[in-house]
Structure 1
C-alpha cells in the first residue's frame, strides 16, 4: 500500500510521459509516482478510418505499448496524449483539423492565427495498464472547448518569441501569457487543456478502487 498526503493506493504509479505539465498535474493530485520516458512511438501510424477525435486515446494506448518493461504486480502505468482540433468549415470530410506541436516559429504563429477569434477543441486520451494479475487495461478521453479572442500579429509574435511553445499541441499553453490575455471562455476541464484531465483520472482511480482514505 502506497501512501501520500493521507491517501492510499495499492499501486506504484508510473507516469509514462516526459511532459512537465502532466508531471505537475499528477503531483497536484497528491499520490506518489515516478516518471518514465517512452521511445519508438510512431504517432503517424493510425488505423485507417479512425475518427479524428478518437486519435488521442489511440495514441495513449500506443504509448502504453511502447513501455516494454514488464509491469510488477503492484505497478500501474499511466500514458496520455493531447491534440488540438481547429474547426475546418471548408473540409466536407471532417469538421475538425488536427493541430499537433509546431516544428518552428512559422508554424507556431500560423497555428495561433488559425485559433485567433475562433473556438477549438482540446482532446486528451488517457490509458491505464497494470500487470496481468490485476488485469487493468482501460482508457478514456476528455474534451474541452476553448474560445480565443482576436489576437494581433504583435501578440502572437511576442508570445511565440518569448515562450517558444514548440512542445505544446496547438502551439500554446493555456497557463501561459497567451492564456491570460487571449482566452475568452472555456467549456470543460481547464487541466485537460494543460494536458491531463485530472478530475476524470481521479474518477477512474475510484472506479478501479485504486485510492482510499485512512
Structure 2
C-alpha cells in the first residue's frame, strides 16, 4: 500500500514562517488562529512559548480532519523576562536599549497536531542565544525609522536590517527567524511514523 501524503496547515500569518516552511518543499495551507497572546510572567518562558504554540495549532485542528497542523510562537527573553512585540516606536526603543550589549534567549515553541486517526499531538521548543552589540541611541533611532522593529518580538529582525546589530548567535538561526526547521522535521517524522503517511522525501 502506498503511503499517503497528508494535508499540512500552518497556523500562522507570519511571512517569515511561511518563507521557512517553503524551504522544505512540502505543500501547505495557511489558517490563522486568533488566540490571546498576552504575556504571562508567572510561568517559565519555555512553557509559555509551548503553550501558545499548542493553543494556536489546537484552535485550527479542532475544526479539521485528515490534517497535520503546525503551530509556533517565538518569544525573546532576557534576565528581566519576556519581551513581546512593541506597540509603538517608544516601546521599540526601550526594548532595543534593554537588549543592547547583552545576551538574550530566543525561544520558539512548536506544536504539531495530527487530526488523522489515531489523533496525536507533539509539543516542543528550541532555544537560541543571541548577543546584540552595544547600540547608541542614534543606532536605535535609525533602525526604528526603517519600520522593521514594530511587528517583531524583541523589536528586531535577524533576517532583515536588524542583522547588523547581531554580534553572534549560539544555536539554531532559523529559530531566531521564527521556525526551527530541524526540530520541526523531527516532530513531523515522529507524528507520521506510526501511520502509513509520508511528508515527502525529506521525511522518508
TM-score (normalizing by structure 2) = 0.88
> Contact between 1:56 and 1:123, CA under 8 Å: does it hold in 2?
yes
Aligned partner of 1:100 in structure 2 is: 84
Aligned partner of 1:81 in structure 2 is: 73
Report whether the alignment pairs 1:123 with 2:107.
Answer: yes
> Contact between 1:82 and 1:195, CA under 8 Å: does it hold in 2?
yes
TM-score (normalizing by structure 1) = 0.84
Cα-to-partner distance string for 1:32-62 (whole Å, 9 max, x where unaligned): 10111112x122385x952222110011111
Which runs of structure 1 show a deviation greater than 6 angstroms over 4 or more consecutive aligned residues? none
Where in structure 2 are the equivalents of 1:23-62 lying within 5 Å?
23-39=18-34, 41-44=35-38, 49-62=42-55
Cα-to-partner distance string for 1:168-198 (whole Å, 9 max, x where unaligned): 100110011121x211110000010011001
Report whether the alignment pairs 1:63 with 2:51.
Answer: no
Segments of 5+ residues of structure 2 without an aligned counterpart are none
The equivalent position to 2:150 in structure 1, one of 153, 166, 177, is 166
Report whether the alignment pairs 1:155 with 2:139.
Answer: yes
Segments of 5+ residues of structure 1 without an aligned counterpart are 1-7, 89-96
Alignment CA distance shift 1:120-1:9 (3 Å): farther
Distance (whole Å) between structure 2 residues aligned to residue 212 and residue 69 of structure 1: 25
Distance (whole Å) between structure 1 residues aligned to residue 8 and residue 46 of structure 2: 27
